[in-house]
């Protein structure tokens, strides 16, 4: 296994990790920003108010995109397992 092939697999794994986590992080960011704007306009400065809507939004997003995430992860894993003989050479 050459250093280039290791770096290639690591690069693909990092890209996949970022791609899979993007929807959850994006929704968390949007909901957090909306709650922050709501708190600023109403002058309600409760620190725990942001957690429950974020958790609910991220959980609903996870339920919605879980099949897509699973497909991406299983496809990547299958490709890695299929390429094991090439790595051994």
* The two three-digit tokens of residue 52, written as one number: 């429950």
Taking 80 as the threshold, does the pLDDT of residue 34 lie above it? yes
Run of H or E residues at 45: none
Half-sphere exposure at residue 24, Cβ-oriented, CA atoms within 13 angstroms: 16
User: pLDDT at residue 89 above 80?
Assistant: no
Token pair for residue 84? 């094991």
Q: Which domain holds residue 74?
A: 3-88
Q: What is the rounded CA–CA span in Å between residue 19 and residue 89?
A: 30
Secondary-structure percent of the chain, ordered helix, strand, coil, rounded to 5: 90, 0, 10
At 36-71, the pLDDT tens digits run 999 889 888 787 888 999 999 999 999 999 999 999
Instruction: Indicate the pTM of the whole model.
Output: 0.80
* Tally of structural domains, the chain: 1
């Amino acid at each position: 296994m050459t250093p280039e092939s290791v770096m290639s697999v690591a690069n693909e794994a990092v890209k996949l990790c970022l791609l899979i986590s993007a929807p959850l992080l994006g929704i968390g960011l949007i909901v957090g920003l909306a709650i922050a704007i709501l708190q600023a306009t109403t002058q309600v400065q409760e620190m725990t108010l942001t957690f429950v809507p974020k958790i609910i939004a991220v959980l609903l997003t996870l339920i919605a995109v879980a099949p897509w995430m699973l497909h991406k992860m299983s496809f990547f894993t299958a490709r890695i397992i299929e390429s094991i003989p090439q790595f051994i050479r």
